[in-house]
Structures are given as structure tokens and as C-alpha cells.
Structure 1
Amino acid sequence: MTPDTKQTGPVAAETENLQEVIKRARFVLFDFDGPICRLFAGHSAETVAKDLVKWLERQGLRGLLTEEERVHPDPMAVLYAVNRRHPHSDLVVELEERLTQQELKAVPSAWPTEFADPLIRTWSAVGARLAVATNNSPRTAATYLESRGLAGCFAPNIYGRTQDLHHLKPHPHCLVRALNVMGAAASDALMIGDTPTDFDAAQRAGVPFLGYARNAEKEKELRSAGAGEVVRSLETVLQMVRGDDVNPAR
């Protein structure tokens, strides 16, 4: 048995497993930032985080954050930190709205994830019901999808961040909302996400999960979290939805 032959067996089995997962999916829940686009590709998330920190400082609230939180590159980390100390406060409401406005500002320079647009259109065309389940603002996701001509593939099923921040993933709230509104059983659905929190939310909702990893580091994170099905390109998924032959060694 050659090394190539040894490798083909497990890869072919993984391809077959993925085909079965996709074949069963009548309802598909997409995370937004990652599987559909890179929202902050042209409008740096780190810059947004700094903007939120500066706004807090202008309110005389510099001491509300630790030094690590003040320099964190993820704006969601700033929002989480404030919410932990002042849950359900007007401060959290204002900060969340400022983050939403920055997300909306990022939409025109967002990068579409390769093969995401045709995958969404094809899956919708063959009869799957699609939804977005994201920690971003639903206004942001809706604005982006409208700009790409994809809103009709999801409408009205876009579920995202609210002012109840404890409902953000890994809490399964937005997934469960999507399933309930669409009248979907969890076993008939599929969640496509790119982070361990997406995987955790899917697990808690009882929804099968497909990881999308744009690089080796992302794939390692997902597999370490327990994700069994992970793809490095949505092209593979698109081919399977179309019913094309997929080379298992690819």
C-alpha cells in the first residue's frame, strides 16, 4: 500500500460524511462574519475597538476596563467587559449602538468570502431555507446581504446581537430563534461557523455543525474545540450542493 493509498481512505470517508451532512440539511444557519464575509477587511476591527475605548474614556470611564481590555483588538471584548460590570445599563445600550454604527460603516469595504455568494444562491435555489445566526448586529448582516443581492435568500431570517448580550454565542439563543421561526427540527438543520463559539452554540442547540476555516490556525481552533467536519474552502460545499463529483483527495 502506497502512502497515497493510505491517505485516500480516511479522506474519502471524511468527504462521504460531509456529503451526508449537507444532503440532510433542509435548513442552513450561517454565521455572518467569516462564512459569508470578512466584515472588517477594510475597516480594522482594532480601530473600532480603540474608538470604543476612547469613547469610554471621554465619559470618564477609563477605569472601567483593565489594561488588557483597553488594548484588546476585538471590539466585542470591550462590549463584553462593560456588560459584565454594568449589565442591562444605558451605558451598554449606548456602547452596543456605537459598535453597530461602526459595523455598518465597515460594510462597504467588507470582503465576500470566496464561493459564499454562489453557495447561498444555489442552496436557496434547490429549496433549503437559510438563516443568519450571528453575534454581529442584524442590521449589519441585512445591509451587507442587500448590497450583494442576497437578502431574498434569507429574508426575514436574520438573527443577531441584541442588547441582551448574555444571549450572544456560545449561547444558542439566535440559533433557537431561527429554528423556531422556520419551524425546523434541529436535526434537519446545519450551522456553518468559523469559531469555537459557533460550534458550542450549535452543540447546545442540537444542530449539526460544519466549520469553515480560512487558514490552518482557524482549522486547528475548530478541531480542538471538537468540530468533526471542517472545510478550508466553501467551494467543496458548493460542489456538493450542486451534486457535482468531488475529488476526495483534493
Structure 2
Amino acid sequence: MTPELTELIARARVVVWDFDGPICRLFAGRTARRVAAELTAVLERAGLSGLPAGAGAETDGPLAVLRAAHRRNPDAGLLAELEELLAQEELRAVSKALPTAYADPLIRTWTAVGARMAVATDHSPRAADAYLAGRGLAECFARRVYGRDRLPHGLKPDPYNLNRALDGTGAAPDAALVLGDSPLGLAAARAAGVPFLGCARGEDEERRLRAAGAPVVVGSLESVLAALRTPARPN
């Protein structure tokens, strides 16, 4: 437990979680690659080629394809088709999603001590809602789940959904804390002026977050839970 981590936790009145990563692992690597390939195939049939099909598939494959498609500015109908295809795959993945270690007790404990929880994600809010309900966590978030819309704009590093979460909770940026696992999430937090806590699953993720400038990175949410449960020492 570091003083920097303790300070981040102590100042946070609102905790804004990324969904896939800090809360759960939505896709297994093979599934992510398959879904990314399916999205790419739809784009190729529409005459858009040269988009990523597998790069970064274990962490961001399908979303990487969606971001790349959005940059190519296809028609709204094609974007909506891609988004719905991905949303249906995300909903199917919910039943097999793996909870991130210590995420459930951390969410419940943080809520119990008075912090408000929110989700800001590039994934479908329907999938996030379904996962939280299945884990018995929906009440902790009180409908404060902000995700990708049908015509996906405002994807990270744009702070669009993070700003929606701040508006929905009535929180000032410096009273909030983002829990994220990617440099894109860090960039969105910086753009919104919100402190960021990096959650790394393995050394590669930790290196990427630190290289992007994340000031505090934890390898397990256990350390966050331990810090939250440790009474503050009087000055």
C-alpha cells in the first residue's frame, strides 16, 4: 500500500469503473479474435478493407475494429449494424465472463462506506447491466452505467461516457476516480480532469499503463480493498 494509492482512495467520492478489465473479463482471447474477424468481414463486404482483424485481440480486438471503422466514416446504417452485432456478442459473452479478482467485494465495500459507483465503458451498456445484475451488483451502481450508443461515437480516448458519468453522479472531476486498464482509459480520464488508478492484469498491461504515464498502477484489486479497509491514521 502506497501513500499515492491511499490518497486516491481517500479523495474519491465517486468511482467510475471501466467494465471489461477492472470488473470482469468479458471475452476470452479466442472469442475476441473471432468477433473482431466477424466485424472485419462485415466491413470488407461493404467495401471497407485494411481494418484490423486481430491486432490487440486479447484486450481490445472488437473495439479496435469498431474504432477503426468509425474513423473511416461509413454510413450510419453500417455503423449501427456493426454496433448491434458487437452488442449481441457481448450479451452472449456475459454468462461466461470471468469476474476480476476482488472486484465484487471492492464494489460492495466502497459502496458501503459511502462512495457512489458508476461505469463508463466502450462496451454495450446492455451487457454491463446484465453482468452487474447477474452478480448482484446492480444496486451498487443505481442505473449509473454509461456505454456505447447505437451510432458509436465518443469512444475512448474521447471522455464522452466519462463526462456522462460525472454528470449523472453530480461529481466534480477532482472528487471522482477512474479505474481503468488501458492507455485509452487514462487519456479519457486526463481529458476529463479525473484522477486515474491503473488496474493491470499482468506485467505487459502494467508496462503499457506506466509508459502512458499512469501515476498509480496496481496489479490486483486486493491492494485497493486492503487500503479501503485500513482505518485512516490521525495526523
TM-score (norm 2): 0.91
Aligned counterparts of 2:230 and 2:54: Cα–Cα separation in 1? 47
- Give the fraction of aligned pairs with identical amino acids, expressed as a percent: 55
CA deviations over 1:71-100 (Å, ceiling 9, x no partner): 443112222232222345100011100000
Instruction: Give the paired residue count.
Output: 228
Counterpart pick for 1:175 among 162, 165, 173: 162
Match of 2:37 in 1: 50
Aligned counterparts of 2:153 and 2:143: Cα–Cα separation in 1? 23
Matched, 1:159 2:146: yes
1:43–1:109 Cα contact (<8 Å) kept: no
Match of 1:217 in 2: 204
Match of 1:94 in 2: 81
Residue 95 of structure 2: SS of its match in structure 1? helix
Matches within 5 A, 1:1-250: 15-41=2-28, 44-57=31-44, 60-61=45-46, 63-66=47-50, 69-72=52-55, 73=57, 74-87=61-74, 89-243=76-230
1:104–1:143 Cα contact (<8 Å) kept: yes
Alpha-carbon distance, 1:42 to partner: 7.6
Amino acid at match of 2:226: Q
Residue 7 of structure 2: SS of its match in structure 1? helix
1:219–1:230 Cα contact (<8 Å) kept: yes
TM-score (norm 1): 0.86
Unmatched 5+ residue regions in structure 1?
Answer: 1-11, 246-250
CA deviations over 1:6-61 (Å, ceiling 9, x no partner): xxxxxx7xx0111011011010000000000000028610011122233445xx32
Compare CA radii of gyration and give the structure with the larger one.
Answer: 1
Higher helix residue share? 1
Alpha-carbon distance, 1:112 to partner: 0.3
